[in-house]
């Protein structure tokens, strides 16, 4: 494994999904100390949050240097978000495309809220580097995952807190197959296997059946994207 | 009073303070329909929220057209903000300047959070115009009130929600005396008297003694600023 290249601390948005688990490995390879933050906002897949502990244990087991780098693991509850968002992720309705071309899983501004809360916590802890798994390549119509959005928000946060904050998005231009390759490069097949087994992607919030790409319903857009990425990764491996 | 110049709906960030009450009048003069949003985040001056109802009643009494324009009044609870912010506004500590030149009342990114939640609610209600009382002239060291910050955030929100949102800040370049003059221009002395009597500014969250400029402790920075503005308004009136 690589030595950390920075003596700073990073705060990683860590939901327990494939993308954020890969971001966590990316940060562990670069920063002397890494803290994580997860959000509980009444979403159906609270199971994703349960996956965090198992993944963190797995990271510690893969590399003692990683184990030594872990700082606090934070969970912030944001009940406000579900209160104002009548969407498929927070209510028991079918996932579909809305008239505006966005999936009805879209919680308006969700990533803006997550990143701004993360920045507020980071401010209090003297952390200037925030890492998130936003990705434009497979962004499924979510405008708050786009690079333009993240860069505008970095400006707003840095100006609004009078402190330079960097929002790192190492997956921004990767597709899901490339994300698996990045995980392999960062932590070998042990990390790929860990993420495959214990990360959660399925919109339905079910562990579901075991597939070669992990657990999930196998039908929802998130499962379909994950399955496609795994197939492509395997084909090119 | 003026006729509304827009057939649109505006959402006004309405805390019950002098600035946001003036913004509410500004919006009522311009928009066919006006909704308000207030935030409860465990701050010491929850009394400010109590002032909202009395102010809204007062607005309705001043002008029947205003009464007809009022839409829903929303209150969002944001317990997350107080959970991560160890500051004088949310805890019983003395207000002072921190080593970074910011008052310890500063909740990092507070206005970013407020405006983004307001935008999420506005999105769900089909509202594109958001009005807030942020002011750079008397900004007391709060970087999230600065014009640069608000403009960067407008970009981030518009990109992140894939919808043009405008953050209106009619007080941005006014001092407190000019804010009183704006209230007078919008609603006459009846509005000035209403805001003076029922808006709340004091950091200590007390109604306190009655002064010529309203109620408050009379000692904290917010009371001092309000008193100074009132004196200047009276001197120039």
A36: containing domain: 6-236
Residue A103: per-residue pLDDT: 58
Structural domain includes residue A65: yes
User: A17: annotated binding-site residue?
Assistant: yes
Structural domain includes residue B137: yes
How many CB pairs lie under 8 A apart between chains A and B?
A: 124
Query: Are A84 and B148 in contact (CB < 8 Å)?
Result: no
Structural domain includes residue B115: yes
Residue B1: per-residue pLDDT: 47
Give the torsion sign (CA, B111, B117, B120, B122): negative
Residues of chain A with pLDDT under 70: 1-4, 42-46, 85-106, 139-141
d(CA A157, CA A119): 7
Residues in A closer than 8 angstroms to B148, CB to CB, are 159
Which CATH number is B115's domain given? 3.40.50.620
Query: Hey, what's the torsion of the CAs at B46, B52, B53, B56, to 10 degrees?
Result: 180
Q: What are phi and psi of B216, to 5 degrees?
A: 160, 175
Structural domain includes residue A21: yes
Residue A48: per-residue pLDDT: 74
Residues in B closer than 8 angstroms to A119, CB to CB, are 108-109
Structural domain includes residue B13: yes
Query: Are A148 and B159 in contact (CB < 8 Å)?
Result: yes
CA-based radius of gyration for chain A: 17
Interface with chain B: mutation pick from A84, A118, A121, highest number of B CBs within 10 Å: A84
Residue A86: per-residue pLDDT: 58
Structural domain includes residue A1: no
Q: pTM of the entire structure?
A: 0.90
Residue B3: per-residue pLDDT: 60
Q: What is the pLDDT along chain B (237 residues), one digit of tens a residue?
A: 456 678 999 999 999 999 999 999 999 999 999 999 998 876 655 677 789 999 999 999 999 999 999 999 998 888 888 777 655 455 555 556 565 555 565 678 889 999 999 999 999 889 999 999 999 987 566 899 999 999 999 999 999 999 999 999 999 999 999 999 999 999 999 999 999 999 988 877 778 889 999 999 898 888 999 999 999 999 987
Structural domain includes residue A186: yes
Residue B77: per-residue pLDDT: 86
Q: Measured between CA atoms, how close is A208 to chain B, in angstroms?
A: 32
Structural domain includes residue B1: no
Taking any CB pair shorter than 8 Å as contact, residues of chain B touching chain A are: 76-81, 83-86, 100, 102, 107-109, 111-113, 116-117, 119-121, 123-124, 143-144, 146, 148-149, 152-153, 155-157, 159-162
Residue B170: per-residue pLDDT: 98
Would you call A1 helix, strand, or coil by DSSP? coil
The number of domains in chain B is 1
Q: Compute the mean pLDDT over every residue in chain B, rounded to the nearest whole number.
A: 87
Closest chain B residue to the Cα of A83, Cα to Cα: B76
User: A135: annotated binding-site residue?
Assistant: no
User: B199: annotated binding-site residue?
Assistant: no
Under 8 Å between Cβ of B146 and B139: yes
Q: Measured between CA atoms, how close is B155 to chain A, in angstroms?
A: 6
């Amino acid at each position: 494994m690589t030595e950390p290249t920075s003596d700073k601390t990073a705060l990683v948005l860590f939901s327990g999904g494939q993308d954020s688990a890969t971001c966590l490995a990316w940060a562990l390879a670069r920063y002397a100390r890494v803290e994580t933050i997860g959000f509980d906002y009444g979403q159906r897949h609270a199971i994703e949050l349960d996956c965090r502990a198992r993944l963190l244990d797995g990271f510690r087991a893969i590399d003692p240097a990683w184990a030594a780098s872990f700082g606090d693991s934070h969970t912030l509850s944001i009940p406000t978000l579900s209160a104002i968002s009548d969407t498929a992720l927070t209510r028991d309705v079918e996932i579909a495309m809305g008239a505006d071309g966005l999936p009805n899983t879209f919680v308006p501004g969700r990533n803006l809220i997550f990143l701004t809360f993360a920045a507020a916590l980071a401010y209090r802890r003297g952390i200037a580097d925030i890492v998130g798994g936003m990705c434009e390549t497979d962004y499924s119509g979510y405008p708050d995952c786009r690079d333009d959005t993240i860069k505008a928000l970095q400006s707003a946060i840095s100006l609004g807190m009078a402190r330079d904050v960097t929002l790192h998005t190492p997956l921004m231009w990767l597709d899901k197959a490339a994300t698996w390759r990045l995980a392999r490069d960062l932590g070998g097949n042990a990390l790929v296997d860990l993420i495959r087994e214990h990360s959660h992607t399925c919109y339905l919030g079910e562990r579901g059946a075991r597939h070669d790409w992990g657990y999930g319903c196998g039908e929802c857009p998130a499962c379909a994207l994950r399955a496609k990425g795994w197939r492509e990764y395997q084909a090119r491996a």
